[in-house]
Each structure stands twice: as structure tokens, then as C-alpha cells.
Amino acid sequence: MNCEFIERREKWFNNFINNSRLVEVPLVGKKYTRICVNGIKLSKLDRFLVSEKFCQMYRDISVTALEKNISDHCPIILRDKFIDFGPKPIKVFDEWIETAGWRKDNIFIIKLRNVKFTLKQWSSKQFGKIDSELHEFREIATKWECEAENRSLGVSERSEWMEARKKWLDREKIKSSMAKQKSRKHRGLNIKGVWNEDPAAIKDEVFNHFKSFFSKRVTNDLKIPAADQQFTSRKITESQAARLEEEFLKKEVLEAINECSSSKAPGPDGYNFKFFKVFWDLIKCDLISA
């Protein structure tokens, strides 16, 4: 719509598709996948082309155009089936830490009593309406985008569309930050040289891996090769032995934490290194008082 159309190039493209024996998976929900920032030019540039054999192997496939964020293109996704990795663990989101209300509520000072329940209440108060607000502004923006597919928008209409889109993206940014920490897209396992993302296969492989360790016979016979026997008489000094039993200094713990990436290695409780860096003073006081 409102774009330059060259019939000769269309025929070249269609001939390429037909000669390659490809078919397009129908797009659901939208007519166009790109809309310029001023809402005037619309086009369908993004699509999935697959072979007929592929369609026979995967009969439940569908293509959906997702909502645009920063890009002027709609991401399109080819779906086959839903993968469930089981219950979701608790996460401490960076957005919680960045919000001033976290410090004001002094959640950590009270030694994390009923922390999961308290965090759910606090998060519901701070971010409970984000989905409804995101949906509201996305609906307004989408309404004008659909309207732009049929006619040129006026200045005030485009202004309303841009304002709704900005508010939508602001809330989408917060939600995306949380979703990034919850993301499970990298969950998979290399099984016999093949990357596998099937939850059942992954669980079986992990179970069999550890089962093989505990099912092996363990002997107490320790044999030292003759070439290494000269090292058996070497011992550490008493001062070195004493240092092995020294308690870690809080300064050493802090230095180790600061050397780690903030978003890496959240534990089973969901706390990542950013949490401990930001609240180190509270943690230190809590350890002293304990």
C-alpha cells in the first residue's frame, strides 16, 4: 500500500519460488509485516517458504505475525508445538532492584522472612497492571495500524498512534527485561553429538548420566604410577595448612562477587549477582547482627 510496485520483479520472484518447489505458509492475523514510522507505506516482506515435504512432516505448523517493538517489521514465528519444561522457579528481577520502592520496603533487612509472599505482593502492586496497560496501549496502536492499511491517517490520528505506541513500548521494555531473566530458550542438551531440546529426552539423559556414576563399582585400591612416586613425600607447611582453614574475609567475598557478571548464575532461590552487589551493605549488616 502506497509503495512502488514493479510487476517484472514480482514475476521473477514468483518464478524463483515455483522453480524451487516451495510453498508459503499462510500468515495469520495481519495483511502486512512492515509499516513505516509515519504509517503511510505498508508492505508484506516477511514470510516463510518451505518445501512440500516439510509441510507433510509438520502438519500442525502455522505462521503468526507478532507485534512490532522497535523495528518497523513484525517478527514472524513458525510454530509447531508447545514445549513445557515444568514448574517455573522464583526470580528476583533487575526491575525490582532498580525501583526505589524495594529499598523503602526494607525487604532484605527483615532477614527475608516470608520473602516469596512479600515479593509477590510488592511486585503485584508495582507491576500488576503492566499487562493490562500494555494490552490497552497495544490495542490502540494496533487499531490505528489496521486503519492505516485501508486509508491514509490524518495528522492527529498519527499523533495518537505514536503516543500509544510509545507508552506500549515503555511497558514492553519492562516486561522484556523480566522475560529475559525467565527465558528458557537456551535449555537443551547435546545428546550423542546432536543438540536436543525435548524435555523428556533431556531428563532421561541426565538421569542415565548420573545413574551410570552410582551404579559403577568403586574400589579402594589406590595405585600411584612409579613416575609419580617421587611426589608422594611432598607436604605443605604448617602455615599453609592453617591458611586452608581460615575464614573468608567479607572483603574477599565482596571482591569475588564484584568480579562476576551481574546477570550471571542466579541460584535456585533466583538471586543473581546484581542483587548481592546492590544490597551488599544490608547483607553485611545482616551477617554481623546474626
**Domain residue ranges of the chain, discontinuous segments joined by +:** 7-79, 87-118+246-290
Above 80 in pLDDT, residue 46? yes
Contact predicate 135/167, CB 8 Å: no
The answer, yes or no, to whether residue 175 has pLDDT greater than 60, is yes
161, with CB counted inside 10 A (0-12, 13-18, 19+), is buried
- pLDDT tens for 75-115 read 888 887 555 556 666 666 777 766 655 555 555 555 555 66
How much of the chain exceeds pLDDT 90, in percent?
2
User: By the 8 A CB rule, do 33 and 65 touch?
Assistant: yes
For 269, residues 6+ apart whose C-beta sits below 8 A from its C-beta are 90, 92
| Confidence at 74, pLDDT banded by 50, 70, 90 | confident
**Higher model confidence: residue 104 or residue 154?**
154
Query: Is the pLDDT at 289 greater than 50, yes or no?
Result: no
0.75 cut: is pTM over it?
no
Q: Cell numbers for 222, please give them.
A: 589406590
The highest-confidence range among 72-86, 200-214, 254-268, by mean pLDDT, is: 200-214
Q: Give the CA count within 13 Å in the CB-facing half-sphere of 112.
A: 10
Burial class (CB in 10 A: 0-12, 13-18, 19+), 168: buried
Greater confidence (256 vs 263) lies with 256
